[in-house]
Amino acid sequence: MNHLLYSGLFEQQWLDFGEDLQSALLTFHRAQTIDDRIFQDLQQKAFQLHDLLESPAVSRSRIAIRYAAHSNLISAGEIDVLGKGVMHSYLEADGFITVHQRAIGGTLKSERGISVKEAGSPGGARTLLETAESGTIEIEHCHPDVVLTIGRARKLIDSEMTDIRASLDDDGRMQLFYSSSSSASSSETTSAKK
């Protein structure tokens, strides 16, 4: 998602560099020589673009909203849903996604982790929560038909559960800690799907 950070400025710098390079190559083709200043200028611009590509994304951006329905939200940082929640929306963040109320349907995809008060719905709205291998997923109350994905490991929640905490163990298997109506506290491990 880092490409979204630089989309305007970065894209224009590449276009300018491409034009300068084309001009230099045409000059070289016609004259069979190139001025040292032109070559040094191209080299300096290439190094600057390389440094920009190699620099880490600054995760200072944050989207904070009260509610989203049938929306697409993408952030280079955090997404924080403060009000009623999200319905049938796509949320993607390089940082954490926090939904203080309900996430019903749609997809929440985070690099660092997801925290939701209530995921899915009693009617079974398919809700996908996905994070990177190092991320965690926490849900206070989860309805059936919610899919948890951490790295390559995936788990379909098929019954009501509370106090879910999911992460990967050292072998890449999903560890799922939760409470359900039939037991006070449980845990299970799910292998990654190939």
Output phi, psi for 35, to 5 deg.
Answer: -65, 140
CA end-to-end distance (rounded Å), the chain: 24
Q: Which of 71, 63, 52, 60 is nearest to 3 (CA)?
A: 52
Q: For residue 177, with 0-12 CB atoms within 10 Å meaning exposed, 13-18 middle and 19 or more buried, which class applies?
A: middle
Question: In terms of DSSP bridges, do strands 113-119 and 96-110 run parallel, antiparallel, or are they unpaired?
Answer: parallel
pLDDT score for 15: 82
The whole-angstrom separation of Cα 194 and Cα 192 is 6
Separation of alpha carbons 99 and 105, rounded Å: 13
What was the pLDDT predicted at 157? 95
- For strands 78-93 and 113-119, give the pairing: unpaired
Task: Summarize pLDDT for 1-41 with one digit per residue, the tens.
Answer: 444 444 555 677 778 888 888 888 887 778 877 778 887 88
The structure tokens listed for 179 are 């409470």
95-148 pLDDT, tens digit each: 999 999 999 999 999 999 999 999 999 998 999 999 999 999 999 999 999 999
- 60-82 burial string, b = 16+ CB within 10 Å, else e? ebebeeeebeeeebebbbbbbbe
The confidence score (pLDDT) of residue 3 equals: 42
Please write the tens of the pLDDT for every residue from 142-188.
999 999 999 999 999 999 999 999 999 999 999 999 986 555 566 66
- Domain segments of the chain: what residues? 2-54, 62-190
pLDDT reported for residue 4: 44
How does residue 47 score in pLDDT terms, banded at 50, 70 and 90?
Answer: confident
